[in-house]
Structure 1
Amino acid sequence: MAKADKTIKEPKKPEDYKYVKRSFVVGKKEDGSQERIIVRGKTAKEAEAKLAEAKRLHARGLQAGELTVREWSERWQRSYKTTVSDAQKNHYDAKLKLDILPFIGDKRIKDITKADLQALLNGYAGGKKGTVEKIKHTLCLLFGDAVYEGIIERDPSARLDLPLVEVDARRPLTPIERDTLIKVAKGHKHGLYALLILYTGLRRGECLALTVGDIDLDRKRISVTKAIKMKGNTPTLAGTKTAEMKKAKTQRITRGEEVGHRIVPIPDLVMDRLKAKLTDKAPQELVFSKGNGTYVTQIVVQNWWRSIKRNCHIAAGAKLYRNAVQVDTSPIGDEISAHYLRHTYATDLLAAGVDDFIRSAFMGHSSVNVTGGYTKLSEEAIDRALELMNNYYSKMDGTGPENTDKVSTENTTENTEG
Structure 2
Amino acid sequence: MSKYHYVRKSITWDGHRYEVRGKTEMEAVERLSELLTSLQEGRVLRSGDTLVDIWYQEWKRVYKAPADLTRKSLQLYDEKYRKYISPAIGTLPLRDVHDVQLQSILNDQRGMSFSHVTKLRMVMQEMFRQAYRSRLIAFDPSVGLRLPKNVKRSFRSITEEERAHILEVAKYHPSGLWVLLILYSGLRPGEAAALQWKDIDFDRNEIHVYKAVESGSNHIKTPKTPAGIRDIPMRSELRRLLWQAKGEPFSLLFPTKRGTVRNSSGIWKQWQSFAKELDLHMGAQEENGKIAHHAIAPDLTLYCLRHTFCTDLQRAGVAINIAKELMGHSSIAVTADIYTHRDQAILHSNISKLDTLDASFAQGPISASDTT
| Both proteins in one fold, TM over 0.5 | yes
Q: Does 1:130 align with 2:115?
A: yes
- SS at 1:293 equivalent: coil
Q: Which whole-Å CA distance do the structure 2 matches of 1:134 and 1:127 have between them? A: 12
Quick one: which amino acid aligns to residue 309 of structure 1? A
- SS at 1:222 equivalent: strand
- SS at 2:56 equivalent: helix
- SS at 1:264 equivalent: strand
Shift of 1:334: 2.0
Q: Which whole-Å CA distance do the structure 2 matches of 1:358 and 1:340 have between them? A: 20
Contact 1:240 1:261 in 2 (8 A): yes
Q: Which ranges in structure 2 are unaligned for 5 or more consecutive residues?
A: 1-37, 333-372
Determine which of 185, 200, 220 is the counterpart of 1:215: 200
Quick one: which amino acid aligns to residue 138 of structure 1? V
Contact 2:44 2:50 in 1 (8 A): no
Determine which of 250, 253, 262 is the counterpart of 2:230: 262
Match of 1:239? Answer: 222
- Are the structure 2 counterparts of residues 118 and 352 from structure 1 closer, same or farther at C-alpha, using a change threshold of 3 Å? same
Contact 1:125 1:163 in 2 (8 A): yes
Q: Can you list the C-alpha shifts for 1:201-226, whole angstroms capped at 9, x where unaligned? A: 11111100000000012332100011
Match of 2:309? Answer: 345
Shift of 1:199: 0.8
Q: Can you list the C-alpha shifts for 1:210-269, whole angstroms capped at 9, x where unaligned? A: 0000001233210001111143xx4111112224xxxxxxxxxxxxxxx74210111122
Quick one: which amino acid aligns to residue 218 of structure 2? P
- SS at 2:331 equivalent: helix
Contact 1:57 1:63 in 2 (8 A): no
Quick one: which amino acid aligns to residue 96 of structure 2? D
Match of 1:355? Answer: 319
Quick one: which amino acid aligns to residue 330 of structure 2? S
- Are the structure 2 counterparts of residues 205 and 85 from structure 1 closer, same or farther at C-alpha, using a change threshold of 3 Å? same
Match of 1:298? Answer: 264
Shift of 1:176: 2.2
Q: Which whole-Å CA distance do the structure 2 matches of 1:61 and 1:269 have between them? A: 63
Q: Can you list the C-alpha shifts for 1:284-318, whole angstroms capped at 9, x where unaligned? A: 01111012221123333222100111122222223
Q: Does 1:319 align with 2:304?
A: no
- SS at 2:231 equivalent: strand
Quick one: which amino acid aligns to residue 195 of structure 1? L
Match of 1:400? Answer: none
Q: Which whole-Å CA distance do the structure 2 matches of 1:57 and 1:180 have between them? A: 67
Q: Does 1:364 align with 2:347?
A: no
Q: Work out the percentage of aligned pairs sharing the same amino acid.
A: 33
Q: Which whole-Å CA distance do the structure 2 matches of 1:357 and 1:218 have between them? A: 26
Structure possessing the higher relative contact order (Cα contacts under 8 Å, 6 or more residues apart): 1
- SS at 2:145 equivalent: coil
5 Å-filtered alignment, 1:9-408, equals: 59-60=42-43, 63-81=46-64, 82-86=66-70, 87-231=72-216, 234-243=217-226, 260-278=228-246, 281-326=247-292, 329-330=294-295, 332-367=296-331
Q: Which whole-Å CA distance do the structure 2 matches of 1:61 and 1:270 have between them? A: 60
Q: Which range moves more in the overlay, 334-343 or 282-291? A: 334-343
Q: Can you list the C-alpha shifts for 1:331-385, whole angstroms capped at 9, x where unaligned? A: x3223322221111111112212222221111112237xxxxxxxxxxxxxxxxx
Contact 1:227 1:241 in 2 (8 A): no
Quick one: which amino acid aligns to residue 346 of structure 1? C
Contact 1:57 1:64 in 2 (8 A): no
Contact 2:207 2:231 in 1 (8 A): yes
- Are the structure 2 counterparts of residues 275 and 58 from structure 1 closer, same or farther at C-alpha, using a change threshold of 3 Å? same
RMSD: 2.5
Q: Which whole-Å CA distance do the structure 1 matches of 2:44 and 2:122 have between them? A: 32
Q: Which ranges in structure 1 are unaligned for 5 or more consecutive residues?
A: 1-54, 244-258, 369-418
Q: Which whole-Å CA distance do the structure 2 matches of 1:89 and 1:212 have between them? A: 32
TM-score after normalising by structure 1: 0.64
Q: Can you list the C-alpha shifts for 1:169-219, whole angstroms capped at 9, x where unaligned? A: 322222222222222122211111111111111111110000000001233
Shift of 1:62: 6.9
- Are the structure 2 counterparts of residues 274 and 321 from structure 1 closer, same or farther at C-alpha, using a change threshold of 3 Å? same
Q: Which whole-Å CA distance do the structure 2 matches of 1:88 and 1:230 have between them? A: 9
Quick one: which amino acid aligns to residue 83 of structure 1? A
Contact 1:228 1:236 in 2 (8 A): yes
